[in-house]
Structure 1
Amino acid sequence: MKYLTLALLALCSFVFFTCNTNKNSVSNEADIEAFQKLRADLSLAFRNGDVQTVTLYHHPNVVKALSYDNLLVGRDANIKNLKGAFEAYSLNFKEHQIESFEIHGNTATEISSFTIEGTPRGDGKPFTFKGRSMVLYIRYSESPAGWALIREMIQTPVGE
């Protein structure tokens, strides 16, 4: 009976601590503020077509898979691609829903769904782009928030 009681107590403790652990928690208040700044700065930079600010949040060794056939390696390649997009379109994040976010030491992962509205700067019709991204950040002292994007993969809805 004693062993059964201990086993039940251990099981209850495990369930309690597992259920009450916030799996999306971050390291500390400074990290929370850093990522709030990062997200706000990037959202505003996209809205304003501000390549310089976006660059500050990208590590020099960043790699992005924007689609199956569009792999960009290095900050220069990513910024060149972004400049082309900003020259052709006005972009605005309409939605950004964080689905999972965790910090582990000097790395952070984020999975989020997003909706971007684009308006051509010349002729053409406005569009809406929806997707999901998985982003890996690392601590990076040269970034305004102390974190920089180093890997990103974009997933679009089936059929797009």
Structure 2
Amino acid sequence: MSNANLLQQLGVDENLKPLPIKVKQQPLDKYYKATFTPDFPPIPRFEPNVFMYASFAPDTVSVIGRYHKGNALYQITIVIDQKLESGIYTFMRGEEGPVFAHVTGTQGFLYGDNGRIKLVRNNIEQSIYAEFKFQIEFEDTTYNVDGSLALLATGPL
């Protein structure tokens, strides 16, 4: 996969700045939550204020929980095969397999691996629910990312 395609899936440009994507507001009962163990210094608390569930690149759908205010930006992105159905899948390092994860912020983007995701997709309601766990490596430390999300489509799937 090309770096340009990956960045498009992450919704950022080559400088890791957000692409100008129009985002529908999520209802109050929708969420994207995650914790890092141990605490991950670049993201003291994961408190996204932008939620995306849409296709930004051919054949994939991106599920993004992003905090963006001024120059501050961080996000967790899960990219899934566009035709992927509900089920349990394994995260692999890089962009291999039907799902992959990234943590993006001032530290660059970090691949998620050694984890699983349980997906429930509803094509009629255009909704997604997921529980996920994966690991990232940063400055010789392994961080566990544990989260869940429930979102409605914010753009074409």
Q: TM-score range by the shorter chain?
A: 0.3 to 0.5
TM-score, normalisation: structure 1: 0.35
Structure with the larger strand share:
2
Quick check: which has more Rg, 1 or 2? Answer: 1
